[in-house]
Amino acid sequence: MGIAVLNPSYGLQMQRTRVRYRPSLGVVRKQGANMTRTLWQVACFAVAWLCLCAAQAREPVDLDTFLRDDTFETLKISPDGKHYAATVQAEDRMQLLVLERDGGKIVTTAAGRKHSAIADFWWVGDDRIVLSTGETEGSRDEAWLTGELYGFKIGDTRSKMLFGDTAAHGRAMRIGESRYRQMASLIDTLPDDPEHVLIRTWSAQETPVTRVFRMDVQTGGLKTVAEAPLRRSSFTIDGKGVVRFAHGADDHNVRKLYYRASNADDWSLVNDEAVSGRLMTPLGFSADGGIAYLEVTQPAGPNTIEAWDPQTRERQLVLRDPVVDPLNILYDNDGRTPIGARYMSGGMQLRFFDENAPIARVYRALEKAARGSAVSISSFTSDNRHAMVRVWSDRDPGAYLLADFANPGLSPVFTRMAWLKRAQIAPTRAVDLAARDGVALHGYLTTPTGAGSARLPTVVMPHGGPFGVFDRWDFDDETQLLAAAGYAVLRVNFRGSGNYGQKFEHSGAREWGGTMQDDVTDATRWLIEQKIADPEKICIYGASYGAYAALMGAAREPALYACAAGYVGVYDLPQMQRDDKRYADWLGNWNSDWIGDRKSLAARSPVNLADRIKVPVFLAAGGQDTIAPIAHTRGMEKALRKHGVAVETLYYDSESHGFVTRPHREAYYRQLLAFLARHLGGVTAR
């Protein structure tokens, strides 16, 4: 473990001449040109002086404000309304606490092993909880399931593993695949059967067989309910707990949807992506089970929500936004019956199948009380009197409130990041622009408080992923940290991003370093044309795929950016493809389909384009990263130094895909802000 900080060569930076994009100032008539020039110089001096004063007035960034762990993350109320269950993020693992609703006394604590996460948890009775565990490879990685399920009662001193390697060594043999570790996730809590839950199981192999079991929540005992008609499947039940849909993909990543009327019936094919050219994802059934709801991709534009009649196999449009896909599906109090969807286009909008339905009226009342903030309901009590409600916005990380429908009102339970001064949070607005080929692009622009809106030092921050991932209208702590340092921050959803329909997402296939990169460039130039960004003070920065885009941006547009920074990035595409093919056949096929043919990858790898990069670079990576192995960053550093590029690095051998330990995170952001300050002029960390 250690820090390797290499000082940049400032001499190279000062000697290099860069040509930058400048908006036209118009034509000055010859007569009176000297006076006009003098007035212009005075005006420029005044603007520069004001900007300098503003920068000097801005306080150094207090990193603790943005890096401090919060008390709680997700809260759910028990069915009887007497307790709350809440996840708590510690530095090396996540914990689950059960607290008394009255008084807040902690009565039970559950925690997994080091580096574990709680993927989700469910009340399966008034006093019993089942939770699923996960792990992450770092702060830039989404939690992935480890396949273990635990259960405990309020007051227990320890939880019991209900499903997992240690739960029953004979289980793999009974299921029939003793060579592979068995994994599970919860499908439904079966409220009418408090002794059991429905779980989905699969084996930890390339193309797993997936099944549904009814599991005893006390013993972990299993009873077979269904087996999928294809591997790598997920399942959907109706209001009675009957498994009626299975959908998944084969080794070639072609998705199919199957249906059956009851547990005793055979599966029948509803949709084959290879034939229809579209995906159909089941969302659930109407309360009476007579109609199913599907999310359906379209040849152009965003996805639809459609009602599907199992008897006639006919579909009817229910909801569709003109710009964006459904972000989340809204369910009735039972947690099973779809009743609408949340859409994110600028802000959050709720739309319902029936605006007069009781739950729709509840949501509308909550929206009114939230005064412009987004709302969601995490849980109801069994008598439907109380609900745990979360509210949040782009300027507020959110709060949990308890709704009482018998005595209408909202009572505060917990405020996220309560130490934040809300009035000092930078505003975010949605932006729309056109790419060079006319494709509509959407994103979010955050501008620092008190800095005006013109000629701002700017950080362009492409997101990670990249496919299916997208920047959102919400509180983004890294964006706010950069804004506090004095920077405008642009997050653009380039081609390949999710939320804007299948065609837009698929248009990013094989476009790493191509049109996906062009979109980021076009968004940057748009900022300049709008006179928002100072054309001399723009840095491109990102993590994971965003780090790739940052270095590719600096290579393809050497005169557009003043600096580039990459965090836990991938810079050698042939190496990434080789790693994927070794992991699994389906992942190797996915890589070929989405990243590109092997022969094209070297020319689109920043590690081979270091000679084109003319601006200072900051790179950071972790030695335990298997998503973007540290070899990518070390290779990028070596290539940059070979070509005389000023480069700084920060490595921690013990970290993975995004630093986790507090001292390492502080060191990373302290160095990032110092790097940006040298080249853009913002403030550093306190």
DSSP notation for 247-265: EEE-TT--EEEEE-SSTTS
Residues 6+ apart with CB under 8 A from 176: none
Q: Letter for the amino acid at 6? A: L
* Residue 2: predicted pLDDT: 26
Q: What is the dihedral of CA 191, 192, 196, 197, to 10 degrees?
A: -40
551/569 Cα distance (integer angstroms): 9
Residue (of 295, 290, 249, 251) closest to 273 by Cα position: 249
Domain extents in the chain? 426-680
Amino acid at 325: D
pLDDT at 555: 98
> Which pLDDT score is estimated for 372?
85
Question: Which CATH superfamily groups domain 426-680?
Answer: Alpha/Beta hydrolase fold, catalytic domain (3.40.50.1820)
- pLDDT recorded at residue 36: 35
Q: CB-based contacts of 570: which residues, under 8 Å, 6+ apart?
A: 544, 545, 547, 548, 576, 628, 632
663 exposed, middle or buried (CB, 10 Å; 0-12, 13-18, 19+)?
exposed
Give the sheet arrangement for strand 144-153, strand by strand: 116-123, 128-135, 144-153, 160-163
Beta strand spans in 587-626 (E): 617-622
Question: How many C-beta neighbours within 10 Å does residue 234 have?
Answer: 16
Segments of the chain scoring below 50 in pLDDT: 1-56, 168-179
Other Cβ atoms closer than 10 A to 671: 20
pLDDT for 452 equals: 77
Predicted pLDDT at 73:
83
Helices (H), 410-501: 477-484
**Which one, of 642, 675, 659, lies nearest residue 564 by Cα?**
675
Instruction: Note the Cα 479 to chain centre separation in Å.
Output: 14
pLDDT digits (tens, 9 = 90+) for 351-375: 999 999 999 999 999 999 988 899 9
pLDDT of residue 588: 76
- Beta strand ranges found along 582-622 (DSSP E): 617-622
Contact 346, 319 (CB under 8 A): no
Give the tens place of pLDDT for each residue, 420-453.
988 889 999 999 999 999 999 999 999 999 887 7
